[in-house]
Amino acid sequence: MSFWKKLFGGGGDSGSAPAPTAHGEAVEHKGFTIQPAPYKEGSEYQTCAIISKEIGGEVKEHRMIRADRFPSVDLACEQALRKARQTIDEQGEAIFR
């Protein structure tokens, strides 16, 4: 795809991020479960994680995507865990609203 099509949204791409794929082990943080889920974006990996928690008998999920990109999936996973913990610390259950 040409530079101009990418810049102005041409080429029929819907603009949505690809479905994340779980990588590594899920971790617990303050009652939440964090599953790193970076996805390939060009030659790099986009930071993404699925944050979940059971509330009132129902499992709630939040897909957290950040602009950070890394050359390896391991680095992207580390960053996803760090950012997810920070999000939980700052917002708590409000992330599900």
Q: What is the pLDDT along the chain (97 residues), one digit of tens a residue?
A: 454 444 555 544 444 555 556 677 899 999 999 999 999 999 999 999 999 999 999 999 999 999 999 999 999 999 999 999 999 999 999 999 9
Residue 64: name the closest of 54, 43, 89 by CA: 89
**d(C-alpha 76, C-alpha 60), whole Å:** 23
Q: Which CATH architecture has domain 14-96?
A: 2-Layer Sandwich (3.30)
Residue 25, classed as helix, strand or coil, is coil
How many Cβ atoms from other residues are within 10 Å of residue 96's Cβ?
A: 14
Task: Give me the count of residues in the chain.
Answer: 97
Burial of 80 (0-12, 13-18, 19+ CB in 10 A): buried
How confident is the model at residue 23, as a pLDDT?
Answer: 72
Taking the complete model, does pTM exceed 0.85, yes or no? Answer: no
How confident is the model at residue 2, as a pLDDT?
Answer: 52
